[in-house]
A and B are shown apart, each in its own frame.
Chain A
Amino acid sequence: MTAAPLASAVSTSPPARWGRRFWWIFGAVLVAYSAQRAGLDLGRLFNTRGFSQFSDFFEAMFRPDLSWDFVKLAIGEAGVTLGFAILGTALSVLIGIFGGVLLTERVWLNVAGTSGASHWVWRTLRGLFAIPRAMHEVVFGLVLVNILGLDPLVAVLAIGIPFGAVTAKVFAELLDEVPPDAEQTLRAAGAGRFSALMFGAIPHAMSDILSYGFYRFECAIRSAAVLGLVGAGGLGFQLALSFQTLRYNEMWTLLWALIILSGIADRWSSLVRRRRNAASVEMHASLSTSAPAKDPVLRTSAVLFLLAIPVAWWRLDVSAASLWSGRARRLSTELWRDAFPPALGDDGWRGLLGDTVDTLALAVLSMVLAWSIASVVAFIASRIENPWGSPANIVRSMVGTFTRLVLLIARAVPPPVWAFLMVFILKPGLWPGVVALAIYNLGVLGRLQAEVVENLDDRPGRALRASGASAFGVANFATLPAVSGRFTALGLYRWEVAIRETVTLSVVGAAGLGRTIRDQAVRFDYDGILASIVALVLITLFVDAISSSIRRTIR
């Protein structure tokens, strides 16, 4: 072993610095290539003539259809969307808890022993769970409707399975981080391996996984709306009907209902999570420091949520029996026979590869746009302490509220609707899809990043200010260093999600694999769909791998 160079003691060690440099160059090349792929000819980018149609949509925002019949319909459909979200989240937490225990490294080390075989089983399980994680809810919906038909279970499973796989991953990482003390004490006192894990480790991580569940709930509301758009019922379903004939006033009644619903869900989810570790917003598998399972807000929320499950189950008339009905078995066998083996389309490997690269470019460009804007907007949108303290604070607080409303609208309007609107003012191609996904993700990221700002430890900034630093100095030396890591981590996480979301964009000329899957769906070309799904899963895993190595480098 050679002695470490002196410089490393001063700041970052050379390997880490080289790692960062590598990722910067990698990122720049990826963005440049994606932009070139989408086309940079500004003359062919904008379509100024469509602006009046574009603004028609936003004018209707202030004149929603408020006839009582339609409002009644919107309220009823909001209930359906909420029901899907509740049941989908419940299923995902259930899968998450069981799957999380299964995927935990220490289960395989402590319970199953350290043999090579158990390590191999653990690896395989992790790989298996990565597949549903890489598939969008809409893709699950598309498959399930062919097995279950017109059944509310389609939406519940389409949300619950992929969300469950994500939750399992997060829970496994949480469990692996639990200090082993309690478990070891139990073992020493004579407890079996399994019960030591059950009582030593799981309760410790439980409250974190529940609070993470509330984040999934807020995502589930948006998902349920997008699923409705492809035919699963609820607000999105009505939205699709009104959208077909471009009845903007009706669309806005439904959109406002969706905005109110997701506004409440988001606020609830923030409240629950703010009490936990502020940093564990998304995938950050770091345990909260507070004592486990003693948070009253979390507990009450969990109880309310538990009570809502049977209500939703009953209102939506869900019956688990249809899962193992003879028809479902027969149809799934038929579907598998039609879909396997996967087959390439007329354009062969070239076509599939081109679509895959388009999908990647779409996700890269939209995330760069969304993240750059969100990183600025987050500071404006964050809630401040003492909003009524001074006139300046009042103005600042009003601007903040307005910005939060804009962000809420950006994420409540489903991406396919954004995409269609963009085709009015942008020439068809990748760009309308890029902008549509960017707006939607700006809504999501802006809010999460604002939470990071709100939960920032403000002591370094105050210390600097007290010692006479300028506002710029405070921002440069206290605020930015504190948020940049988390901002980047959130951006990378959303990038993984954005790949999945591209499948919802098929209205716009070229939109990669989403467009292709849609085309294959209308041909009932199941083996082609399977090939596209495999490509989508592979590209998501690729992006997951890149994103987690970048996160490790910057940590």
Chain B
Amino acid sequence: MGLVNFNSLKSKPFAALLLVLALVAAACGSDAAPASQSGASSSESGGAESAVTEINLGAIPDQDPELLARNYGLLADYLTEETGVKVNFQPVTAYEAAVSQFRVGDLDLVWFGGLTGVQARLQVDGAEAIAQRDIDAEFTSVFIASTDSGIDPISDVAGLEAVKGRSFTFGSESSTSGRLMPQSFLEQAGVALGDLDGEVGFSGAHDKTIALVEAGTYEVGALSSQVWKSKVEAGEVDLDKVQLIYETPTYFDYHWVARPELDADLQNKIVNALAALDPSNAEHAEILEFFGAESFIGTESDNYSDIESVGRASGLIE
């Protein structure tokens, strides 16, 4: 049974189909690599004794994607130079996808949030928190309210009782500053999720939380104070519609987590390289500014034991 009928080449729809194929070729022929492309991961190399030839570095994006690709590219190049091991950057869209990819070994070194970092470590024996930013030891969340809601600024945790009976949104489900810690502070103030007006929302991201509270869809929301401050400074928040009502006490948040395949020596090299980032060096300054930090410092898994217990209490860690 011959499939090609050459007479059909003369038919008119054929021209349209050729166009489609040309588009297929043009689109496929561009040099952008598929985002889900898998590099030769070090994790399949077997035991810890075999040398790691490549590090796949991943990050959860809560920033402008163009900046993200550029700055992580810079960071990957810098780390390649300093450690002598090829470092590839791999963006990830969702927090839990980053954890899964770390678990299966497609990502070796990931910039996690507090909660996701703990979740990832618990799923991979021997994984360790190795570094954080200077600001991550004293991270905070903010509660914001629409001005129409009539909620006044609050001075302490107990004041969060004012949120009772209001509609409320978190950010992403597994965000530390946008969900876990705000939920924990609400509970400290005696506000359970069932005390809110309707089901609690999950906007999906810090910026979306601001947008939804501004729109009045939700009366109150919680997000990372870092994002709030930078958006306010950039003049991207309509302060007539939404206001800051409370900034929480500090907690540990973002950190770098490494898989055990990266041996102690290599982990040391990475931490030293991160710590050596110097704001007076123009190229380093760009990376640090992107991370919103003055410097990176070493850290250890024990710093996140509070996050772990809060996570267990809220059922996010089992």
Contact = CB atoms under 8 A, between A and B. Distances in A.
Contact of A231 (B92, B207, B208, B316): B92
A271 B16 contact: yes
Nearest to A426: B217
A15 B187 CA distance: 60
Contact of A145 (B43, B100, B174, B208): B100
A149 B30 contact: no
A76 B174 contact: no
B283 interface: no
A234 to B, nearest CB: 7
Given A77-B35, A427-B198, 9 more contacts: A47-B216, A70-B66, A75-B30, A76-B32, A149-B41, A233-B35, A268-B16, A300-B14, A522-B96
Given A75-B27, A327-B105, A230 B94 contact: yes
Interface string B53-76: 000000001111110100000000
A72 B95 contact: no
Given A271-B16, A307-B21, A82 B27 contact: yes
A149 B20 contact: no
A327 B252 CA distance: 34
A148 B66 CA distance: 27
A504 to B, nearest CB: 13
Contacts of B8: 296-297, 299-300
Of B8, B25, B217, the most chain A CB neighbours within 10 A belong to B217
Contacts of A250: 65
A391 to B, nearest CB: 27
Given A154-B36, A238-B65, A299-B3, A518 B318 contact: no
Interface string B1-34: 1011101110101101101110111111111111
A154 B91 CA distance: 17
A79 B29 contact: yes
Interface in A182-241: 203, 228-234, 237-238, 240-241
Interface of A: 47, 49-50, 53-54, 69-70, 72-73, 75-80, 82-83, 86, 145-152, 154-155, 203, 228-234, 237-238, 240-247, 250, 264, 267-268, 271, 293, 296-297, 299-304, 307-308, 311-312, 315-317, 322, 325, 327, 331, 346, 420, 423-424, 427-429, 506-510, 518-519, 521-525
Interface of B: 1, 3-5, 7-9, 11, 13-14, 16-17, 19-21, 23-38, 41, 43-44, 61-66, 68, 90-97, 99-101, 103-107, 119, 123, 148, 167, 173-174, 198-205, 207-208, 211-212, 214-218, 241, 315-318
Nearest to A274: B13
A50 B207 contact: no
B17 A268 contact: yes
A53 B316 contact: no
A79 B26 CA distance: 8
B106 A150 contact: yes
Contacts of B37: 150, 152, 233, 316-317
B14 A242 contact: no
B204 A152 contact: no
12 contacts: A82-B27, A148-B104, A151-B38, A154-B36, A238-B65, A243-B205, A244-B62, A264-B19, A300-B14, A315-B29, A317-B37, A428-B198
Of B16, B19, B65, B107, the most chain A CB neighbours within 10 A belong to B65
Contact of A244 (B3, B4, B97, B205): B205
Contacts of B202: 506-507, 518
B34 A424 contact: no
A522 B316 contact: yes
Contacts of A152: 34, 36-38
A268 B1 contact: no
Contacts of B216: 47, 49-50
Of A150, A231, A296, A521, the most chain B CB neighbours within 10 A belong to A150
A244 B204 contact: yes
Contact of A150 (B27, B90, B204, B318): B90
A420 B204 contact: yes
A230 B93 CA distance: 7
B93 A231 contact: yes
B63 A53 contact: no
A146 B34 contact: no
Contacts of B200: 509
Of B28, B105, B173, B241, the most chain A CB neighbours within 10 A belong to B28
Contacts of B315: 346, 523
Contacts of B123: 524
B91 A241 contact: yes
